[in-house]
Amino acid sequence: MQFHKVLLHICNMLKKLQQKWKVTKLDLLLILITFAVGGSLCGFAGRKIMSFTGIEKGFVWLVVYIIIVTIIWPVCVLLVSIFTGQFSFFKKYLTKVARRFSGKKATETTKQQPLPAAQTNGSIENHAPGSLEPVCNIAIFASGAGSNTLGLIEHFKNNPSVNIALIVCNKPRAGVLAIASNAGIDILLIEKDRFFNGDGYVRSLKNHHINLVVLAGFLWKVPVTLLQHFPGSVVNIHPALLPKYGGKGMYGTRVHEAVIENKETESGISIHFVDEIYDHGVAIFQAFCKVEKDDTPQSLAAKVHQLEHLHYPRVVEELVNAKNTLNKQGVPQY
C-alpha cells in the first residue's frame, strides 16, 4: 500500500511537470534523461577537474568542487540535450534560470501576455498599454516547417494591436517550434487524446486570452469543443480553390498532385472560417495562379506558397480590423 502511494505521488508529480513545461510524455522522458545524464557527466567532469587542483579532500575541496560543478552544469546539460533532441527546451530553461538569478522578473509568458481580457469568447477586448486600441491575441496552430507562421510573426511584429501570443503544435520535431522559440513566443505541444476527447486545450487558450485561432499548415481536424468556444474565430488557409480539392487527406503535395492529374488550368489558395467539416467553412478570400502544362506538384506548390505568404497575413489583419470595428460599434463578436 505504501509503495502504491509513492508510485501515485510520482505519477502526479510527473503529470504536473508535463503540464508546467507544456511538453509531450515522450519529451518529458527525454528531458528527465537529459537531467540525469547531464548531472552524472557534470559530477564526473567536476571530479576530474579537482584532481588537477592539488587540493586535498576536506571543506575547501568541497567548496571549490561545488563552485566548479555549478559553473559546468549548464554546459554538460546542453551538451547531452543535443543528443536527446531537447536543446531548445534546455536553452529556454537555462535562460529562465539565469534571469531569476540576475533578478530579472520578466519571463517569456509575461512578456507576451497583454492586459487580462474581460472575456475570451472571440471578441477583442484587451488594450495595448497607453492606447485605446484593442489587442487581438492570436494562437497559430501549425504542424510543419512554419513558413506561414514566420510570415505572420514578421507581419505583426510592429503592430501594437495584434499579439502572436501562442504557437500550438502537434509534432514535437516540427520546424515551427524553432521559429516560435527564436521569436520568444510561448509554445503549446498538444496530444491527440486530450485534443479530440478532452477539453480541446480550450483552457490553455483562454489562459493566453486568445481571441483568434489561425491555422497555418495544421493537419488535425479542429474538434467541436474548440469551435464552440471560439465561434467564428478559427481561420484556415487551404492550398487549392475550394470547394475543389478539399476534405480529409487533402493537404500538401496530395492537393497539387490531384490538381495536375485532373488537368486544371488554375489553382490557388482559399482562406476560410473553420467549421465541423474539413475545408467546408465560409470563404473569406481566394487568390489564383495558372497551372502550366509543364508544372509539377513541386513547381505548383512553389506558386501556391507565394500566394500564401503574400495574402495570408494581410487577410488575417483585415479580419482583425473588421472584428475591432464591429466591437467598437457594440456588435457582439462570435
Q: Which residues are catalytic?
A: 238
The whole-angstrom separation of Cα 180 and Cα 176 is: 6
Angle at 74 between CA 66 and CA 177, to 5 degrees: 160
Question: Hey, what's the cell of 226?
Answer: 474548440
The whole-angstrom separation of Cα 65 and Cα 55 is: 10
- Give first-to-last CA distance, the chain, whole Å: 51
Helix (H, G, I), strand (E, B) or coil at 126: strand
Q: Determine the number of helices (DSSP H) and then strands (DSSP E) in the chain.
A: 12, 8
Does an H or E element contain 224, and which? helix 224-229
Amino acid type, 97: V
Q: In terms of DSSP bridges, do strands 266-273 and 283-290 run parallel, antiparallel, or are they unpaired?
A: antiparallel
Question: Hey, what's the cell of 260?
Answer: 495536375
**284, 304, 282, 287: which is closest to 295 by C-alpha?**
304
143, 219 Cβ separation under 8 angstroms: yes
The whole-angstrom separation of Cα 136 and Cα 317 is: 10
Residue with cell 475543389: 244
Which residues, other chains included, contact 256 with Cβ-Cβ below 8 Å and sequence gap of 6+?
239, 267, 297, 298, 300, 301, 304
Residue 19: Cβ-neighbour burial (10 angstroms; 0-12, 13-18, 19+): exposed
**226, 199, 228: which is closest to 215 by C-alpha?**
226
